[in-house]
């Protein structure tokens, strides 16, 4: 067929249009592909941030659901906890160790539900105490004697619990008894724990099989410890002290809590069930399952702190700058205790071994007022007491400000500077503070006739939250 002139022109024009259009840039397609690739790039570049945000959102929803479920299951709402919940933690050696029923370590774990804080207070096993059935001996023998007599973990734990109440003045709600063999098995069940070892530890006399010794060494670094290594890290004491060992055991407990949180054990029904079954096999306690469930909603934002009743200041220093808080026991003369290595509370004597006033005061502050370490107020003490008056009062010169700093720091007040005041003041004690109300109230217990000057910060040192300025009347009121 022949094309007409009109059809021929139309056909040629359409070919021309196609040819012209073939040279046009498809802007929409380019923009679409650019947007897709840009989106892919952003997702990959910010993948960690996006995944973390999604993970936090999922955790938040999961924690809300778990909190409601646990409160219903335990029949114990959060408002029921009006006071601290105090738990006595005890470690025993286990049947594979000599004298396995002696309590190797003892500590009080005090949980404050209003502040979401968990405070540990370790009590030395060598503390000399009076026994209900005899004159006296080391604290760690109470559990052993009661267990040998009754063959009951529960009765033995309650016997030790009664003595701990007398020493600290703290009411104990529950106890948890941990066997070292159970502990090793528990760590292996959660694979490992992460520990930041502060100093290289070498123990050439760590107890081995058949009453032998082996060398245990762990370097200063971050380590992933299995059950066996964690047990050695917790028990080693021949190259350090019992106080250092107590601190390491508290460090391990913190690592276990962190591991359980990071692995979502409290958010997985399967993991939680397996954990509870493992807990039943490895731990003895008078706490029921519903009570354990009631603590789950608090675990998410838990803040942990620890103290150790120790005698390190008697071995190391008596100056406030290097003082370890909690130094309220001292090594007694062995000749007075049948050559045993024992500890006595400060102010106690061989004829009066149960003077627990200082320990009770410290336990009261440490466990019932965790706000003290939450506020962490920086305190400066300045001395403007006449030196001649000090010599007349004491018959020799005495560093009054340093003595006050030593006493306050022993109770974990954060003393950062001690010096002399450069001006004359008329008050017994000038107290300048910066929104640290709990520290302010607790200082009233320790410093007599303290006078508060609200808002007057011209005498406060730069960089300090509080400044105490001692005047002559402090000598007569202290």
**Phi, psi dihedrals of residue 23, rounded to the nearest 5°:** -95, 0
Lowest-confidence range among 48-52, 155-159, 191-195? 48-52
* Cα dihedral sign, 326-241-235-99: negative
* Alpha carbon distance 258, 265 (integer Å): 10
Q: Buried (b) or exposed (e) across 430-448, using 16+ Cβ within 10 A?
A: bbbbeebeebbebbeeebe
Q: What is the pLDDT of residues 239-293, one digit of tens each?
A: 666 667 777 877 888 888 778 776 666 666 666 667 777 777 668 888 887 787 7
Q: Which residues, 6+ apart, have CB-to-CB distance to 400 below 8 Å?
A: 383, 385, 390, 470, 474, 475
Highest-confidence segment of 15-24, 219-228, 391-400: 219-228
Q: What is the pTM of this model?
A: 0.75
Owner of token pair 């934002």 = 301
Give me the pLDDT at residue 468, please.
82
What confidence category does residue 92 fall into, taking pLDDT thresholds of 50, 70 and 90?
confident
Q: What are phi and psi of 168, to 5 degrees?
A: -95, -20
Give the pLDDT confidence of 417-472 residue by residue, as tens digits.
888 876 544 444 545 555 788 888 888 777 755 554 443 444 555 677 888 888 77
Q: Which long-range contacts (CB under 8 A, 24 or more apart) does 349-357 make?
A: 353/128, 353/129, 353/130, 353/136, 354/129, 354/130, 354/166, 356/166, 356/167, 356/168, 356/169
Among 389, 448, 458, smallest CA distance to 423 is for: 458
Kindly report, residue by residue over 305-323, the tens digit of the pLDDT. 888 898 877 765 667 887 8
Phi first, then psi: give them for residue 381, nearest 5 degrees.
Answer: -120, 125
Please provide the CATH number assigned to the domain covering 80-356. Answer: 3.40.630.190
What is the per-residue pLDDT for 401?
87
Please give the structure tokens belonging to residue 233.
Answer: 């890290």
pLDDT in tens, 159-208: 999 999 999 999 999 999 988 777 788 888 778 888 888 888 888 877 77
Q: Provide φ and ψ at 361, rounded to 5°.
A: -65, -40
What is the model's pLDDT at position 345? 94
CATH topology of domain 371-477: Alpha-Beta Plaits (3.30.70)
Q: Which of 15-24, 152-161, 224-233 has the highest mean pLDDT?
A: 152-161
Which pairing describes strands 466-470 and 379-383: parallel, antiparallel, or unpaired? Answer: parallel
What distances in angstroms separate CA 275 from CA 29, 71, 343, one per listed residue?
A: 55, 19, 38
- Give the whole-number percent of the chain exceeding pLDDT 90: 20
């Amino acid at each position: 067929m022949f094309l007409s002139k009109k059809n021929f022109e139309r056909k040629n024009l359409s070919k021309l249009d196609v040819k012209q259009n073939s040279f046009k840039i498809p802007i929409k397609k380019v923009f679409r592909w650019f947007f897709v690739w840009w989106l892919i790039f952003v997702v990959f570049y910010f993948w960690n941030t996006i995944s973390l945000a999604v993970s936090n959102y999922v955790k938040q929803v999961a924690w809300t659901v778990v909190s409601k479920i646990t409160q219903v299951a335990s029949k114990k709402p959060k408002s029921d906890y009006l006071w601290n919940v105090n738990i006595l933690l005890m470690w025993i050696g286990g049947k594979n160790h000599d004298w396995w029923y002696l309590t190797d370590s003892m500590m009080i774990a005090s949980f404050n539900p209003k502040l979401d804080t968990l405070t540990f207070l370790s009590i030395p096993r060598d503390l000399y105490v009076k026994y209900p059935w005899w004159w006296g001996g080391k604290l760690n023998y109470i559990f052993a004697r009661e267990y040998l007599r009754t063959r009951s973990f529960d009765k033995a734990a309650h016997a030790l619990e009664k003595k701990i109440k007398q020493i600290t003045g703290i009411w104990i709600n529950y106890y948890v008894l941990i066997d070292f063999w159970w502990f090793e098995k528990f760590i292996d069940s959660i694979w490992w724990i992460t520990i930041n070892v502060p100093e290289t530890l070498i123990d050439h006399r760590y107890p081995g099989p058949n009453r032998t010794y082996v060398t245990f060494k762990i370097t200063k670094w971050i380590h992933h410890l299995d059950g066996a290594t964690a047990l050695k890290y917790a028990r080693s004491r021949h190259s350090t002290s019992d106080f250092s060992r107590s601190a390491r055991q508290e460090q391990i407990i913190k690592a276990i809590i962190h591991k359980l949180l990071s692995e979502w054990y409290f958010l997985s029904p399967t993991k939680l069930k397996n954990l509870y079954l493992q807990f039943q096999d490895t731990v003895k306690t008078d706490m029921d399952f519903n009570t354990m469930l009631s603590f789950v909603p608090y675990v998410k934002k838990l803040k942990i702190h620890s103290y150790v009743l120790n005698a390190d200041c008697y071995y190391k220093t008596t100056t406030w700058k290097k003082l370890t808080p909690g130094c309220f026991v001292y090594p007694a003369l062995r000749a007075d205790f049948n050559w045993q290595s024992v500890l006595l509370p400060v102010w106690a004597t061989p004829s009066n071994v149960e003077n627990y006033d200082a320990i009770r005061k410290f336990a009261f502050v440490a466990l019932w007022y965790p706000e003290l370490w939450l506020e962490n107020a920086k305190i400066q003490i300045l001395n403007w007491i006449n030196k001649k008056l000090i010599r007349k009062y004491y018959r020799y010169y005495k560093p009054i400000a340093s003595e006050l700093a030593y006493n306050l720091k022993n109770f974990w007040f954060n003393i950062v500077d001690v010096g002399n005041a450069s001006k004359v003041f008329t008050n017994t004690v000038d107290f300048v503070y910066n929104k640290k109300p709990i520290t302010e109230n607790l200082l009233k217990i320790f410093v007599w006739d303290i006078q508060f000057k609200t808002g007057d910060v011209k005498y406060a040192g730069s960089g300090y939250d509080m400044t105490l300025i001692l005047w002559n009347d402090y000598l007569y009121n202290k």
